[in-house]
Chains A and B, each alone.
Chain A
């Protein structure tokens, strides 16, 4: 999960935030890290470029990108598949 946090910080250019500052279950959008819809697109690109995973159903986005843990679980499930 630490690697994924580093990738998120780099992809979203989260200045002044270190990977270790992001909690595993901290909400990423709105009240958490304050990410927005463009960040969501960046996360979709990250999944595809780094893990070869294409988010087939856009309606899954809010669930998949809720926290770092939920993203990690989605990656684990879909890499294995």
Chain B
């Protein structure tokens, strides 16, 4: 399939990544939940409309519209997005209303917004895009599925030149409590910047919305080249994962020594085993970078990783806070190597 240029990008995350220069100033949190740094929405969303929107709908729509503005594209040829839980807060509000009203008449707003594809639909309405509009909700493979969709569209249809691709998720009070009860999220108040320094049980919950304008054409401003992705469900061992990585890199004409690794370590010792094995085995000597201590763990965190990787390749600056091991030299290629439970994903980026 065709590699695509990242001609526009926008990221709203728990870090000050929106409307700031890269590298951004690292924000430290103490606790188990990282919430997005929300921008002023008024330049993007009419206040008459935003009054009805939940938090994720506002920051997701804004991130998408800003990615288009960043590129100078007014209407994309397609929109493809990924989300793990969709608009979770509105889903919760709707269900709570149903219970409180004893399954009687309830407010329609939360219900209307509770579907997974609300953000991509809202962006389409805002810019008048009547083209392809897909939202993938495939747990840890959601964003990667949107990327594959975009790559297939660009490969199969010559008329498609600009594709808005993104991912969005949110963490709510209720979802955080449930994940803590299940032992997935830590209950301690330790710093997020220490998350990957020592292994323990649980991780920190995160959220964010990240969008890119991908194109087979070189734009006026190119951040990086998106080469492709590979998905692996439940690899049996580190050796199986290593072999898949080698095959993936060879398939793109590269080798292990060529890449810096943006590793999806979560700080949860029960989940990080295979990634640790790969980092200390296959990638011994490579620069290893981390990102989940910056954005938290969520199903579409690889969108944040792809934004971080693209910014590093574009600016030639590696933020010190992202370096886990190795020398922070500027790489030519970045391999995102993520896991979310049993979902393992590889994404390869190269300098433009």
Contact = CB atoms under 8 A, between A and B. Distances in A.
Interface string A2-46: 000000000111111000000000000000001000100110110
B41 to A, nearest CB: 11
B48 A34 contact: yes
B198 interface: no
Contacts of B112: 38
B104 A48 contact: yes
Residues of B contacting A: mostly: loop
Interface string A45-70: 10011000000000000000000000
A49 B101 contact: yes
A44 B105 contact: yes
A25 to B, nearest CB: 22
Contacts of A11: 107
Contact of B47 (A16, A38, A42, A45): A16
Interface in B90-109: 101, 104-109
A81 to B, nearest CB: 20
A34 B49 CA distance: 11
Contacts of A14: 51
A49 B98 CA distance: 12
Contact of A45 (B48, B51, B52, B107): B107
Given A12-B51, A13-B51, A34-B48, A42 B107 contact: yes
B246 to A, nearest CB: 53
A38 B105 contact: no
Nearest to A17: B51
B108 A41 contact: yes
A72 B47 CA distance: 27
Contacts of A42: 107-109
Contacts of A38: 52, 108-109, 112
Contacts of B51: 12-15
A18 to B, nearest CB: 14
A43 B109 CA distance: 12
Nearest to B100: A49
Question: Most chain-B Cβ atoms within 10 A of its Cβ — which of A14, A34, A38, A44?
Answer: A38
B105 A49 contact: yes
Contact of B106 (A12, A16, A34, A45): A45
Nearest to B105: A48
Nearest to B50: A15
Interface string B92-135: 00000000010011111100100000000000000000000000
B52 A13 contact: yes
Nearest to B104: A48
A9 to B, nearest CB: 10
B47 A15 contact: yes
Nearest to A46: B107
Interface string B143-164: 0000000000000000000000
Interface in B273-323: none
A80 to B, nearest CB: 22
A16 B101 CA distance: 28
A15 B105 CA distance: 24
A15 B41 CA distance: 14
B52 to A, nearest CB: 6
B216 to A, nearest CB: 39
Interface in B170-196: none
Interface of B: 47-48, 51-52, 101, 104-109, 112
Given A45-B105, A48-B104, A49-B101, 4 more contacts: A34-B48, A42-B107, A45-B108, A49-B105
Q: Closest 8 CB pairs between A and B?
A: A41-B108, A13-B51, A48-B105, A15-B51, A45-B105, A45-B107, A42-B107, A34-B48
20 contacts: A12-B51, A13-B51, A13-B52, A14-B51, A15-B51, A16-B47, A38-B52, A38-B112, A41-B108, A42-B107, A42-B108, A42-B109, A44-B105, A45-B106, A45-B107, A45-B108, A48-B104, A48-B105, A49-B101, A49-B105
